[in-house]
Amino acid sequence: MIEADEIIMTTQTYMNLSTSELINMALARKEGVLAANQALTVTTGLRTGRSPKDRFIVKDNMTENAVDWNTTNQAISSEKFSALWQRASDYLQTKESAFVSYLKVGAEEKLSLTVKVKTELAWHNLFTRIMFIRPDKPITTDQPDQWTLLCVPSFKTDPTRDGVNSDAAVILNFAERRILICGTYYAGEMKKAMFSVLNFLLPEQEILPMHCAANVGKDGKTALFFGLSGTGKTTLSADPERYLIGDDEHGWGEEGVFNFEGGCYAKCIDLSQEREPVIWDAIRYGSVMENVVLNSDTKEPDYTDVSLTQNTRAAYPREFIPLRVEANQADQPNAVLFLTCDLYGVLPPVARLTKEQAAYYFLSGYTALVGSTEVGQGAGIKQTFSTCFGAPFFPRAAGEYANLLMKRLENWDAQVYLVNTGWTGGTHGQGGNRFSIPTTRAVVRAIVNGDLRDAQYETLPGFNLSIPKEVADVDAKVLNPRQAWTNTQEYDDCARILIEKFTDNFKKFDVSNAILSAGPKLD
């Protein structure tokens, strides 16, 4: 066994390589192959999604009273972190090469962070060059107040020695502005780690961090799309008729909306050129595909093959989207969409929410887990409540984010809508059908065009939701979900089950009576 003082420091560090240079390095090092569409295609081994049980936050004077400590925000000591950081750094020094890029997160200059990304793999560095924001002028030396992200996937942790749960760990140290990722090859951990950093820091600046996509119409009106992975954020925001800001992470403050990232990270399962042409065309040379199976002869990607995982992914830069907002930020939103994937088939395709209902459904975060985004989630789809439509990424108490949402809604005339991208006419697996992408696009079009602001509405009993009586290009019989079922008694039974789940889930929140009474109620 090699002792620490016997390590020969021969690592060559490559600084700020270009996209093509990183691709060439990845190919030469056999980290991946080029697909027929010229995207660099890689596999991530056993972990094909995030590993929430392996995520920790250093508990110190800065975080002790600010973080909502729970099974998602797990605590680890500064001493354990420092020792593990040193071990991972020493281990990387035994490797032939390492890759460093200086990047940014946050398109709002006054709020952006510089991050020094140091990776064991060339393709991981390429991923961050795609997903983070490349500075206008290359940065070559350490900056004041910069963050450092160290990713060493082949270094395995020891739970007994390191105070972690497995052979992998993702650890955020806010006081030292460091992130350590080891034992996992899944690149999404890097982007979500920096997302969590901004989610912790920005509320102190009165900025609402959001797990949402954002785009702008030709009329200059901004729309936000909240939702978990697989429920439609990337697909619906990549609209051929609108200008994209970003597909996943944004901030909302007094100056408007701004993107945290410089790229998009789309799910590839069942990707279709016909249904999702913007995403299809963006996957080309300069992008990365994770765990997408290629035809052994032609190297054509088979987006229907989920033999490695249902969480197949593609990362591509915003520049690959022809219609995009160049500034990567926009004015205050006019429309806010909560994308919920309802497996019970009892929620309408669209409902208009009051501000109090918006707070209720934001805190509830009712939707579905789609396509094994997390390790251990398994295949298939299952119902969940994910606070703020992104519970795994928000270190602070949920109420802080909900209060910021209410403040934004009170200060700006943004209408909030609940949009069901899930099932209708029955439950998942029991006679129901999932809303088609064209149907949901028609709903979204009516929202962002302002057609639903002055539409005629009726009230859906139990949920007390305002549902439109008519939406262009949408079959009227599905607008009221009860009428879409052939057996209304079965609908009532399923609605009752879901309302009970909402009620039970919401007991953990301490909110005003106005917000509490805005939720669904049993007759």
CA distance 146 to 429: 49
Looking at the predicted structure, is the pLDDT value of residue 443 above 50? yes
- Which residue out of 55, 104, 192, 408 is catalytically annotated? 192
Q: Is residue 43 part of a domain?
A: no
Looking at the predicted structure, is the pLDDT value of residue 310 above 60? yes
Looking at the predicted structure, is the pLDDT value of residue 518 above 90? yes
Among candidate residues 177, 192, 190, 181, the one with its CA nearest the CA of residue 146: 177
pLDDT score at 413: 86
> Does 236 lie in the same domain as 142?
no
CA distance 345 to 204: 39
Q: Binning pLDDT at 50, 70 and 90, where does residue 136 land?
A: very high
Residue at a domain's end among 205, 237, 253: 205
Q: Is residue 18 part of a domain?
A: yes
Q: Is residue 366 part of a domain?
A: yes
Residue at a domain's end among 320, 335, 367: 320
Give catalytic status of residue 234 as yes or no. Answer: yes
Lowest model confidence (mean pLDDT) among 119-128, 155-164, 224-233: 224-233
- Which residue out of 54, 162, 239, 248 is catalytically annotated? 248
CA distance 210 to 198: 10
Q: Is residue 451 part of a domain?
A: yes
Strands 329-330 and 256-259, bridge-based pairing: antiparallel
Q: Binning pLDDT at 50, 70 and 90, where does residue 6 land?
A: very low
Section 417-425 average pLDDT: 96
Give catalytic status of residue 154 as yes or no. Answer: no
Q: Is 197 helix (H, G, I), strand (E, B) or coil?
A: helix
Give catalytic status of residue 267 as yes or no. Answer: no
Looking at the predicted structure, is the pLDDT value of residue 523 above 80? no
User: How far is residue 147 from each of residues 195, 198, 227, measured CA to CA in Å?
Assistant: 13, 11, 27
> Phi and psi for 370 in degrees, rounded to 5?
-120, 120
- Which residue out of 118, 211, 396, 428 is catalytically annotated? 211
Q: Binning pLDDT at 50, 70 and 90, where does residue 485 land?
A: very high
Q: Which domain holds residue 62?
A: 4-31+52-205
> Does 233 lie in the same domain as 121?
no
> Does 356 lie in the same domain as 306?
no
CA distance 85 to 66: 23
Domain CATH code at residue 12: 3.40.449.10
pLDDT score at 369: 79
- 303 versus 4: the higher-pLDDT residue is 303
Section 465-478 average pLDDT: 95
> Does 250 lie in the same domain as 273?
no
Q: Binning pLDDT at 50, 70 and 90, where does residue 372 land?
A: low
pLDDT in tens, 246-295: 999 999 999 999 999 999 999 999 999 999 999 999 999 999 999 999 99
> Does 478 lie in the same domain as 407?
yes
What sign for the dihedral angle of Cα 483, 486, 488, 494?
Answer: negative
> Does 223 lie in the same domain as 180?
no
Q: Is residue 289 part of a domain?
A: yes
Domain CATH code at residue 360: 3.90.228.20
H-helix segments, 77-187: 78-93, 122-131, 159-162
Looking at the predicted structure, is the pLDDT value of residue 180 above 60? yes
Q: Which residue has the tokens 């917000």?
A: 515
Question: Whole-prediction pTM value?
Answer: 0.93
Q: Is residue 341 part of a domain?
A: yes
Give catalytic status of residue 503 as yes or no. Answer: no
Looking at the predicted structure, is the pLDDT value of residue 353 above 70? yes
Section 193-218 average pLDDT: 97
- Which residue out of 63, 101, 157, 234 is catalytically annotated? 234
- Which residue out of 87, 313, 318, 324 is catalytically annotated? 313
pLDDT score at 62: 98
Number of domains in the chain: 3
Helix, strand, coil percentages, rounded to 5, for the chain: 30, 25, 45
Q: Count the neighbouring beta carbons within 10 Å of the beta carbon of residue 208.
A: 24
> Does 235 lie in the same domain as 147?
no
Looking at the predicted structure, is the pLDDT value of residue 3 above 80? no
Q: Is residue 40 part of a domain?
A: no
Contact 322, 212 (CB under 8 A): no
Among candidate residues 434, 213, 238, the one with its CA nearest the CA of residue 335: 213
- Which residue out of 47, 87, 233, 434 is catalytically annotated? 233
- Which residue out of 41, 47, 50, 340 is catalytically annotated? 50
358 CB-near residues (< 8 Å, 6+ apart): 336, 338, 405, 406, 409, 416
Give catalytic status of residue 192 as yes or no. Answer: yes
Q: Which residue(s) pair with 101 in the sheet?
A: 117
CA distance 21 to 290: 19
Which helix H or strand E contains 340, and what residues bound it? strand 333-340
Q: Binning pLDDT at 50, 70 and 90, where does residue 229 land?
A: confident
Give catalytic status of residue 313 as yes or no. Answer: yes
Averaged pLDDT of the chain: 94
CA distance 49 to 374: 5
pLDDT in tens, 57-88: 999 999 999 999 999 999 999 999 999 999 99
Domain CATH code at residue 311: 2.170.8.10
Looking at the predicted structure, is the pLDDT value of residue 370 above 80? no
> Does 287 lie in the same domain as 274?
yes
- Torsion on CA atoms 445, 446, 448, 449, rounded to nearest 10: 100
Q: Is 478 helix (H, G, I), strand (E, B) or coil?
A: helix
> Phi and psi for 486 in degrees, rounded to 5?
-75, -25
> Does 476 lie in the same domain as 379?
yes
- Which residue out of 63, 196, 229, 287 is catalytically annotated? 229
> Does 143 lie in the same domain as 11?
yes
Q: Count the neighbouring beta carbons within 10 Å of the beta carbon of residue 508.
A: 10
User: How far is residue 9 from each of residues 13, 90, 93, 249, measured CA to CA in Å?
Assistant: 11, 9, 6, 38
Residue at a domain's end among 205, 220, 248: 205
Q: Which residue(s) pair with 224 in the sheet?
A: 214, 336
pLDDT in tens, 25-55: 999 999 999 999 999 999 999 999 999 999 9
Give catalytic status of residue 157 as yes or no. Answer: no
Number of residues in the chain: 523
> Does 348 lie in the same domain as 488?
yes
Amino acid at position 163, single letter: G
Amino acid at position 520, single letter: P
Q: Is residue 291 part of a domain?
A: yes
pLDDT in tens, 384-411: 999 999 999 999 999 999 999 999 999 8
> Does 385 lie in the same domain as 502?
yes
